[in-house]
Structure 1
Amino acid sequence: MPPRLAMMSQVDFDGPLARRLWNKCRRESTLSKYTPFCVCLACGCLDIDTFRCYIDQDIHFLEAFARAYELAAECADDDDAKHSIIELRKEVTEELKMHASFVKEWGGEDRKAAPVSPATVKYTEFLLATASGMIEGLNLATPFERTKVPAYALGAMTPCMRLYAYLASEFKVAIGPVYGDHLYKTWIENYASPGFEKAAERIEDVLEKVATTLTGEELDTIEKLYNKAMKLELDFFWSQPVGQKTVVPLIRNHNPAVDRLVIFSDYDLTCTVVDSSAILAEIAIVRAPKSIPNPDPDQPAEEQTIRMTSAELKNRWGDISRQYTDEYEDCIDRITTSRTDEFRYDDLCRALEQLSAFEKRANDRVIKSRLLKGLNFDDIKRAGEHLIIQEGCFKFFSTASRNERLNVGINIVSYCWCGDLIRSSFNSAGLLTQVSIQCNEFMFEEAVSTGDLVRKIESPIDKVRTFRKILGNYSTDKNNFSLYIGDAVGDLLCLLEADIGIVIGSSSSLRRLATRYGVSFVPLYPNVVRKQKVLTGETLLSWKRLSGVLYTVSSWAEIHALVLGC
């Protein structure tokens, strides 16, 4: 565990400062683009009065931005830095002129400007306080200490520029090459332009220069300011008064009196960074003796326990793993010989029955090898507590289970050999009572594994049967809406039978097999934008099970944004 953490920590220090800070705020940038305001703006259907209100707020913000540059320049002790900051301020002046053209284009010249919103006030006050040297936990009293203010101020201002460039480019990708009669084309083109991208890069370059002499502690302060600015940006977009019906978040359209959200998720490589089978094998190898003493000649042969050294276990596990990989690829090749452009679920089920038979034979091989015999329950529990979880995964489950507006059921459906490993993992996050876990189980004698399994879920067919059974067990007094999150071929049938099937990760075998049977993989965000554009009637009805369409995401933050919003 420690070597991996050390490696991850080292990555954090690679690359330019602004890039590192931006990468650490991917969650906030993702949540921002999924806000009702941004989704409606992206598709061009945002109510015009909402957009005008937003422009009014943004003008207040840009005026504060210009003032913050002035304050930062006053504290700069380097002529080059001062000049660079003054030049950045000039760009804000140009952006304010652009906003004046927005006001003219969208016909709001004669109307009364909207009052400043609480979210705008909170953001601008934070910005001006930072540029004035009033930073929580710091006392910048001396002239020398105040020379650090430009770096702190730019740390709070840089994420705004980068976020706008990011959002506009994401909107442009979601819309595609043809804008048609898109109402907000000018706005998107301005912020997605090479010119604005260069402006974002310029402020990042100036931040890099003014931060070169800072200590590690001072760089930590910049990171905190950057992160807070991103959170305030998210609050700013989330607070825009969108009164129209929206596709996202799902909770916005959820009536707890009549609706129930049923969440399903795979575990290995969906929730976790590494596969649990490798963890269990590693425990067995580490705990095995380095050498085996000669057997007692006076003991009957049938009473002698046959054991393997750690080296023998490692070699045996390597052989079994290689055999599994080779035979799995052969099986996938056999069931992907035919191809159809039409989605054919029944044909896919028949193909996966062949894979199911293979998976069960592979488990037979592991059990007969006795590789998993002798594992101590406490070792398994500790391993579960320290498993590396995908960023945002447990936060999503925790937030969903605590949300009073949701009637939610959370179910883990997994091939994992050992349910105790999963339970320990969820228990370490305080989530054990919030989830139902369905998987295989180790058999134990006096807290030591026998090497046998209670085999419950070994194949795609087993998984989808379990999925159907769980869904059927929920009472019919409410509308059950299902969401399944998975990453591999084993999840395919469940993904397709759920109202929304979300694929996280990039399994080549999943895509290769599924596309052969007419399944389409589409990025979630552009699809959300398209659904918003054509939205009529009930929003949940726009998601259809067994449609042959699966939605791809790059992180759990996207799933969180879709379901729960900010």
Structure 2
Amino acid sequence: MCLFLNPSKNPRFNIISATVSRFGRSDPLKSLLRSSSSAACRFLPKYYYCVDSNPRTSTKTKAAMGVGAAADEEGIARRFWIKFMKDSVFAMYTPFVVCLASGKLELETFRHYIAQDVHFLKAFRHAYELAEECADDDEDKSAICELRKGVMEELKMHDSFVQEWGIGLSKESTSNSATAKYTDFLLATASGKVEGGKGPGKIATPFEKTKVSAYTLGAMTPCMRLYAFLGKELHALLDPDESNHPYKKWIENYSSESFELSALQIENLLDKLSVSLTGEELEVIEKLYYQAMKLEIDFFSAQPIIQRTVVPLSGVRDPAEHRLIIFSDFDLTCTVLDSSAILAEIAIITAPKADQNGPENQLARKSSADLRNTWGVLSSQYTEEYEQCIESIMPKEKVNNFDYEGLSKALEKLSDFEKRANARVIESGVLQGLNLEDIKRAGERLILQDGCTGFFQNIVKNEELNADIHVLSYCWCGDLIRSAFSSGGLNVLNVHANEFTYEESISTGEIVRKVESPIDKVQAFKGILKNCSNDGKHLTVYIGDSVGDLLCLLEADVGIVIGSSSSLRRVGSQFGVSFTPLFPGLVKKQKEFVEGESSNWKGLSGILYTVSSWAEIHAFILGK
């Protein structure tokens, strides 16, 4: 358990004293946990307050909330891309893109893609023609004309693929469902059919026609930006010594400066055409942008794959024979704030003032001022000793080969430290007197990392996956974890954590200590697998963020590190652990994939995969 409560070193602690003084002698927790959005965020540092992770939240609503003021200085095209960029990983992690990046994509699949993309590009060309007709400025008309010429160049490139590889397109004379959904959507938008809007032939004023141009570009811009993004991501993985990558020409085209310039041109033009639009009209463009992004991702997902692939992970094994078991840490893996800070704040806010006396039958408690001071001392001591412990377990020189045994022995020392720290917390009495209902309400309002809840919900809802989810955590109070997930309908998650003891729903200050250390975690991990059915046939994934997760991350078939813990990487690297960004790692796996193998994921490989978001985890394990 990490104590993020040192008032001298951590600004997060300031919220505690501010909140205590704000509520005074009234019912503090009732005020703290009232259903208003501000109260729901008070457990978090102010820079986490009311951050809206819903991609459908309107621009106007966010402006009213004062969110993204700095971003407002940028054009809407840039703002929309930043807002929806996390969705781009669902295109990047499709079997089609992973196989294409690896150079192992079957030619038949690429032929199908080219044929479908021709339909896309022809719709783009026609949409540009309609947008040019609606533009009322010669400069805008000229810019749209230039963009249309770029589409013509792309069509020529597709023709060159056909001629170079001798791939006929006659069999693909019609567009498939995913292609048709986008092209129909785009051409309807370009014709003015937006939420019951007028068609170009019925538009009364030039300004109304200009709006149609803006709407049309709003439905095209994310496709251009997504292709530029994918091109650059894939180009970064090209081996300069590899001259025979079959799709190098495709990758180089979409990663080129000329294509980036085209993407910037359409973004700049969208910004210009949107300047005079109302807030409601900008919301329309945002919806069109997001819908276009989703349809483009659907297009990549719909490409037929006739080969075995490493993605999505849930599809690489037979669910009837192999169970998928997902393990996850909780604090700072699922949450944006360590649970110790939340429990500390509940304790301080609900503690009596120095001159107040509770009922005679109530457990004796420290005053809020004493609690605040005690937490500060505990936090300072923990931080100082933790850093000393990490230094003491590091080998003098970095090992050349992965040394799991040496790492395990080193983490035994860290485990001893964690247990001593927990003992100090218990002895201090700071966790005494917390009401179970207050803890549950705090958990229900706890903000989780964007995409975390949705990922788990998708697993739970899909019974055909044959999957289990286990949360392994140092958290002092399992009730807090269960409440955090219950608000998302995830009561079925298996939680393995420490537990408070209660007398009539009031915490005694004691902790049932089950999972306190890296050693406890890995023992729990192994115990869960031992009790699994399917005769040991399972595929395991562990998701974590800290040194305490290292052993479990390495034991799992797939270990995924989320976040940027420097101590985790530092300790792991010294013992020969390799940290590889997930997408490049998958492309490498696809290159090495051997037909007929059930899985090429194995634990204790010494390789951990890093991600920056839960969207990446979702895209990798479940797909779109």
Give the TM-score range, shorter chain: over 0.9
Matches within 5 A, 1:94-109: 94-108=153-167
In 1, Cα distance between the equivalents of 2:617 and 2:508? 39
Q: Give the match for residue 496 of structure 2.
A: 438
Amino acid at match of 2:165: W
1:263 and 1:516 map into 2 onto residues whose CA distance is 27
Q: Distance in 2 between matches of 1:56 and 1:458?
A: 57
Counterparts of 1:131-530 in structure 2, within 5 Å, are 131-136=190-195, 138=197, 142-143=204-205, 144-293=207-356, 307-338=365-396, 339-433=398-492, 435-477=493-535, 479-530=537-588
Deviations 1:251-291 (A, max 9, x none): 22231221110110001111111111111111111112343
TM-score, normalisation: structure 2: 0.86
Instruction: Give the distance between the partners of 1:16 and 1:280, measured in 2 at CA.
Output: 42
How far 1:312 sits from its partner (Å)?
Answer: 2.7
**Residue 153 (structure 2) pairs with residue 90 (structure 1):** no
Deviations 1:302-340 (A, max 9, x none): x99653332332222122112111110100000013331
CA distance in 2, matches of 1:208, 1:225: 14
> Which aligned pairs between 1:5-84 and structure 2 lie closer than 5 A?
5-6=49-50, 9=62, 10-13=66-69, 14=71, 15-84=74-143
Cα distance per residue 1:465-514 (max 9 Å; x no partner): 00001111111346111111000011110000111111001100101111
Per-residue deviation, 1:134: 0.6
> Residue 476 of structure 2 contacts residue 511 of structure 2 at CA under 8 Å; is this kept in 1?
yes
Residues 148-187 of structure 1: per-residue CA shift (max 9 Å, x gap): 1111111110011111111111112233433331001100
Unaligned runs of 5+ in 2: 1-40, 53-61
Preserved CA contact (<8 Å) 1:257 1:478? no
Structure 2 CA distance for partners of 1:110 and 1:197, relative to 1, 3 Å: closer
1:443 and 1:138, CA in 2 relative to 1: closer, same or farther beyond 3 A? farther
Distance 1:114 1:340, change over 3 A: farther
- What secondary structure, in the 3-state scheme, does the structure 2 residue paired with 1:337 have? coil
| One-letter amino acid of the structure 2 residue matched with residue 253 of structure 1 | V
The two structures have a TM-score, normalised by structure 1, of 0.95
Does the 8 Å contact 1:53/1:114 carry over to 2?
Answer: no
Q: Residue deviations 1:178-199, cap 9 Å, x none?
A: 3331001100011011111111
Per-residue deviation, 1:538: 4.5
Letter in 2 for 1:488: S
The verdict on how the C-alpha distance between 1:138 and 1:380 changes in structure 2, with shifts beyond 3 A counting, is: farther
Amino acid at match of 1:363: N
Offset of residue 86 of structure 1: 2.1
Q: 1:124–1:329: structure 2 CA closer, same or farther, 3 Å change rule? A: same
Q: 1:137 to 1:329 in 2, by over 3 A?
A: farther
The residue type equivalent to 2:313 in the other structure is: L
3-state DSSP of counterpart to 1:261: strand
Is the CA contact 1:133–1:149 (under 8 Å) kept in the aligned structure 2? yes
Contact 2:518–2:551 (Cα < 8 Å) also in 1? yes
Contact 1:12 1:20 in 2 (8 A): no
Question: Could you say what secondary structure the match of 1:484 adopts?
Answer: strand
Q: Judge conservation of contact 2:231–2:252 (CA < 8 Å) in 1.
A: yes
Q: Output the amino acid matched with 2:212.
A: V
Aligned positions of 1:108-127 closer than 5 A:
108=167, 112-127=171-186
Change in 2 beyond 3 A, CA 1:274/1:171? same
CA distance in 2, matches of 1:96, 1:328: 60
For the aligned residue pairs, the C-alpha RMSD in angstroms reads 2.1
Residues 121-130 or 135-144, more deviating:
135-144
AA at the equivalent of 1:154: L
**Residue 288 and residue 66 in structure 1: after superposition, are their counterparts in 2 closer, same or farther (change >3 A)?**
same
In 1: Cα distance, 2:589 partner to 2:538 partner: 21
Q: Could you say if the C-alpha distance between residues 111 and 352 of structure 1 is closer, same or farther in structure 2, counting changes exceeding 3 Å?
A: same
- Partners of 2:214 and 2:274 within 8 A in 1: yes
Offset at 1:78?
A: 3.0
Q: Give the 3-state SS of the residue equivalent to 1:116 in structure 2.
A: coil
Percent identity, please: 58
Maintained 8 Å contact 1:377/1:448: yes
State the one-letter code of the partner of 1:509.
Answer: S
Question: Deviation per CA, 1:83-136, whole angstroms, max 9, x where unpaired?
Answer: 222222122122222222222222225865453111111110000011111113
Look up the SS of the partner of 2:219 in the other structure: helix
Measured at CA, do residues 431 and 539 of structure 1 come closer, stay the same or move farther in structure 2, by a change above 3 Å?
farther
Distance 1:392-1:337 versus aligned 2 partners, 3 A rule: same
Matched, 1:541 2:605: no
Query: Does the aligned pair in 2 maintain the 1:246–1:539 contact within 8 Å?
Result: no
